[in-house]
Amino acid sequence: MFALLTIFFLQFANKAGSDVVCLSPTALEMRQERGIAIDSLDYAVSPLYLDSIRSMGAKVLHTSRWMNGATIEASSETIEALEQCSFVDTIYTTRLANDSSTIHSVSLRKRVAATNDNMLDTKPLNSNGQLQLINLPPLHEEGYKGQGIRIGVADGGFYHADSLASLPREQWLGYADLTDCQHDIFSQEGNHGTLCLSAIMGQKSNYQGAATQAQYFLFRTEEHYTESPKEIDNWVAAIEMADSLGLHIVSTSLGYSGFDDEQFNFAYSDMDGQTSRGAQAAAIAARKGMLLVTAMGNDGARAWRYLSTPADADSILSVGAVNREGQIANFSSYGPSADGRIKPEVCAVGEGTCLINPANDALIASNGTSFACPLIAGMAACLWSALPEANNMEIREMIIRSCDRYDQPHEQYGYGIPNAWEAYTMATTDLPNTKHHTPYTKIIHNGQLYILYNGEKYNLLGNKIECEETYMK
C-alpha cells in the first residue's frame, strides 16, 4: 500500500562547514560567460547539520542550498529534539501522514482536477496552427530550432517517453525522479510529462515540436497519489539541479494553490512571488541566469480563478491558454499576481493543442495551460539559439515586447500572444523600432552583446546605450 509518513522542511541557521560549490563545469562556464558571480547560494548546505539530523533519526529526502535547508521524513519525537538544536532556524510541515484510503481519494481528486487536460478528438491533427500563432516557423526556416540550448522539463510521469520514436533519446541529457513514487518515471504513473515534452521536442512526418534541436533533461517532481507542499520542495530540488547542470530554460506545467489537507492551502494574497518556496526559488533561478516558463493554471472557470505558484514568481514567463484563433480559453487562470504584476505574461495555444499520444505515438489534441507552456519554452529556446549572446532576461523581454497586447495587457491574456519572428527582428534588424531590414553590426563590450545601428549603439532590447566597442563580431 501507499502509506505516507510525515514530511517536514527544516531551515538551517547558516552554512557552517560548507565548502562545496554545487555547479558543474558547464554551469560554471555559463556563469562566467554571463558575468554571474558565485555567492553563498551556490554552496551546499552544511554537511555537519545533515550528519546531525540523520544521527537523530531523520531521513533526508532533499537538500536545498537556495533555501538553506532539507526536506526530511521524521517522527514527532525527532522533530521535538530538532527544535532544540541551535543550528535549526525554522521547521515547516509539508505533508502529514495519511492512510491508504485517503490516498485513494486523493488520486481521484487529482484526476478530476486535471479535467481540462483530457484528450480531445479534434481534426485535422498537426502542429502547424500552434506554431504559426506564435509565428515560430520563420525562425525554424532560418535554422534556429533550439540547437545549443539545454531545457529542463519538470512535470509528473513521463509514461513511455523512453520508447517513443518521436522523442529521440539522443537529445536527452538525462532524467531524475525527485518524488516518492514507487515506479520509474516511464511507467504507468502519469503521462502528463510525456504530453508536454512532445509539444516542445516531438518529431514526426506531420508534426514538429517547438524546439526540436535542443537538448533535454527530464525531472519528475509531481507525486502521483498526493497533493501537498512537499511537491513544491520536489520542484525546488529540480530547479536547483537544473542550475547545477547548466540548463538554460526550465518548462514547468504544474502549479499549486490547494492541497489535500486544506490547512496548507494558499490564499490569493500568497500569490505575490515571495510567499511560497517555489516562487522564491524561481526568482533565484532568474538571478542565476535561467529562464523559467510556467503554466498559469486551469482554474479560470472555477471558484479559485487565479494563478497558482510558481507562476506568481517574478522574472519568469507564466503562460495562459488560447485557441488556434487566438481567443482566450475559458479555463485559463486569471492574473494579476497578488502584488499587482501582469500575469500571465504571454499566451499560446492551450485549447486543442496537438500532442503525441504516449500510448501509441499517434497524434491527439488536448486542453490545458500545461500545453501552452512548452510551446513558449520552445520559442524561447529558438530565439536564444538565434541570439546566443543574450541573457535570460533579455530573451524574456524580447518575447514580452513582441506580444499583440503589449500596450494593453489583460488579466487573462497578459501581454498577449508573442511573435517569435518579430522578437528576433526587433533584437537585430529592427533598431530602433522599425519593421524594415537594415544593416547592423554586433558589438561585444564587457562581455555583453550590443547592436551598432546607423552609428548608434543599442542593447538587445532596443534601448540606446553608451559604450566603447572592444571588438566587432
* pLDDT reported for residue 4: 60
- Positive or negative: CA dihedral 135, 141, 144, 147: positive
Angle at 155 between CA 163 and CA 169, to 5 degrees: 30
**pLDDT exceeds 50 at position 472:** no
**pLDDT exceeds 60 at position 103:** no
* pLDDT reported for residue 460: 54
* pLDDT reported for residue 131: 96
Using omega within 30 degrees of 0 as the cis cutoff, is the peptide bond preceding 229 cis?
A: no
> What three-state secondary structure class fits 277?
helix
In CATH, which superfamily holds the domain spanning 116-425? Peptidase S8/S53 domain (3.40.50.200)
Question: Residue 412 corresponds to which cell in the numbers above?
Answer: 487573462
Predicted confidence band at 449 (pLDDT cuts at 50, 70, 90)?
low
**pLDDT exceeds 60 at position 431:** no
* pLDDT reported for residue 102: 47
Closest CA to 116 of 292, 248, 282, 295: 295
Closest CA to 217 of 248, 174, 186: 174
Domain residue limits, the chain: 7-95, 116-425, 437-472
**In angstroms, rounded to a whole number, what is the distance separating the alpha carbons of residues 300 and 306?**
7
Using omega within 30 degrees of 0 as the cis cutoff, is the peptide bond preceding 344 cis?
A: yes
- DSSP state, residue 309: B
Each residue's pLDDT tens digit, 310-350: 999 999 999 999 999 999 999 999 999 999 999 999 999 99
Whether the Cβ atoms of residue 442 and residue 451 lie closer than 8 Å to each other: yes
**pLDDT mean across residues, the chain:** 87
**In angstroms, rounded to a whole number, what is the distance separating the alpha carbons of residues 155 and 171?**
18
* pLDDT reported for residue 439: 41
**pLDDT exceeds 50 at position 107:** no
**pLDDT exceeds 90 at position 216:** yes
* pLDDT reported for residue 255: 95
How many Cα neighbours within 13 Å face the side chain of 74?
26
Average pLDDT, integer, range 7-16: 96
**pLDDT exceeds 50 at position 112:** no
Each residue's pLDDT tens digit, 359-375: 999 999 999 999 999 99
* pLDDT reported for residue 223: 87
Whether the Cβ atoms of residue 154 and residue 231 lie closer than 8 Å to each other: no
Q: Which of 43-52, 186-195, 269-278, 414-423 has the lowest mean pLDDT?
A: 186-195
Each residue's pLDDT tens digit, 191-212: 999 999 999 999 998 899 999 9
Each residue's pLDDT tens digit, 288-300: 999 999 999 999 9
Question: Residue 443 corresponds to which cell in the numbers above?
Answer: 558589438
Residue 87, judged by CB atoms within 10 A of its CB (0-12, 13-18, 19+), counts as middle
Whether the Cβ atoms of residue 466 and residue 456 lie closer than 8 Å to each other: no
Average pLDDT, integer, range 414-426: 94
**pLDDT exceeds 50 at position 455:** yes
How many Cα neighbours within 13 Å face the side chain of 13?
11
**pLDDT exceeds 70 at position 117:** no
The CATH number, out of the four listed (3.30.70, 3.40.50, 3.30.1050, 3.90.550), of the domain defined by the range 7-95 = 3.30.70
Buried b or exposed e, range 360-369, using 16+ CB within 10 angstroms: ebebbbbbbb
Contacts of 316 (CB under 8 A, 6+ apart): 282, 286, 291, 292, 293, 294, 310, 345, 396
What percent of the chain stands above pLDDT 70?
84
**In angstroms, rounded to a whole number, what is the distance separating the alpha carbons of residues 456 and 235?**
44
What percent of the chain stands above pLDDT 90?
77
**In angstroms, rounded to a whole number, what is the distance separating the alpha carbons of residues 272 and 24?**
32
* Main-chain dihedrals φ then ψ at residue 456, nearest 5 degrees: -110, 155
Predicted confidence band at 428 (pLDDT cuts at 50, 70, 90)?
confident
**pLDDT exceeds 50 at position 105:** no
Whether the Cβ atoms of residue 201 and residue 171 lie closer than 8 Å to each other: yes
User: Global pTM?
Assistant: 0.87
Closest CA to 153 of 87, 198, 107: 198
Q: How many CB atoms lie within 10 A of CB 37?
A: 7
Q: Which of 7-11, 81-85, 124-128, 414-418 has the lowest mean pLDDT?
A: 124-128
**pLDDT exceeds 50 at position 405:** yes
Predicted confidence band at 132 (pLDDT cuts at 50, 70, 90)?
very high
More reliable by pLDDT, 436 or 385: 385
Whether the Cβ atoms of residue 388 and residue 217 lie closer than 8 Å to each other: no
Each residue's pLDDT tens digit, 254-299: 999 999 889 999 999 999 999 999 999 999 999 999 999 999 999 9
Residue 170, judged by CB atoms within 10 A of its CB (0-12, 13-18, 19+), counts as exposed
Q: How many CB atoms lie within 10 A of CB 455?
A: 5
**In angstroms, rounded to a whole number, what is the distance separating the alpha carbons of residues 235 and 241?**
10
